[in-house]
Chains A and B, each alone.
With several copies, the nearest count.
Chain A
Amino acid sequence: MSLKLVFLGRLEDVAGHGEIALDIAGPLTLSEIAERLEPQLAVAISAANVRIALNGSLVSPGGWTAGNGDELAFLPPVSGG
């Protein structure tokens, strides 16, 4: 089973990839996902100004789990236009 993690902006540089597929045994919380990542990346995605989208919808940092086939995106402050 696999969970897709997407990293935008400077988080991509920290992760080393724009996307990572995480092998999982079952649905995970944000903390459980962070534990599976390199410490530097775990800290970066936990910053207060990083927004999270689960399957294309913004979610708060808690109150959900992400499982097989889900896509979880980490969105640092934008700088568009």
Chain B
Amino acid sequence: MIRDVRLAHADFDPAHEMAHFTARQDAGGVTSFLGKVRSEASDNPVLALELRHYAPLTLPGMEELAMRAERNWKLTGLLIIHREGVMEPGDPIVLVACGARHRRDAFEASDFLMDHLKSESWFWKREKTANGWRWIEPRAQDADDLARWAHIR
């Protein structure tokens, strides 16, 4: 079982990371999710995105989340890379990947990880447009997504 959980302080190359992660395991299948900085917010071009975090909690929380996923699905590998800092449109924010013998495990674990990274990890996001910086508030959809996993310990 490969576990690779990182807080990235600078730009990273998702294609390179995926190729490396995939080559390291004998998984039947590997699922991934890549989140990128969008280029528009409510029709305003996005100039920059910043993710602030709280170091004493952020990476430990990500590692605990990874272990929860490993307890609940049968995985051959798990990858989480999450950026912090200031990014530009098109930059990768988060890359999650799960390898498994059976694809249902890989799909569900990736989905679980993303819902929790969005709503339960220690990141605060703000976006800069021509109107200046604006903090992004949590969406109701995020809470709904999270509620789907109430049965997972």
Contacts and interface: CB of A to CB of B under 8 A. Distances in A.
Q: Do A and B touch (CB < 8 Å)?
A: yes
Contacts of B136: 79
A81 B56 contact: no
Interface in A5-62: 6, 8-10, 12-13, 53, 55-58
Given A9-B52, A53-B56, A79 B137 contact: yes
B138 A77 contact: yes
B123 A81 contact: yes
Interface of B: 35, 51-54, 56-57, 82, 93-94, 114, 117-125, 135-138, 142
A6 B38 CA distance: 29
A6 B55 CA distance: 11
A12 B50 CA distance: 14
Interface of A: 6, 8-10, 12-13, 53, 55-58, 71, 73, 75-81
B137 A6 contact: no
Nearest to B122: A78
A73 B117 CA distance: 20
A78 B138 contact: yes
B57 A80 contact: no
A81 B122 CA distance: 10
Given A8-B124, A9-B52, A9-B124, A78 B135 contact: no
Contacts of B52: 8-9, 12
Nearest to B55: A56
B89 to A, nearest CB: 16
Contacts of A53: 54, 56-57
Contacts of B142: 79
Contacts of A78: 119-124, 138
Nearest to A13: B135
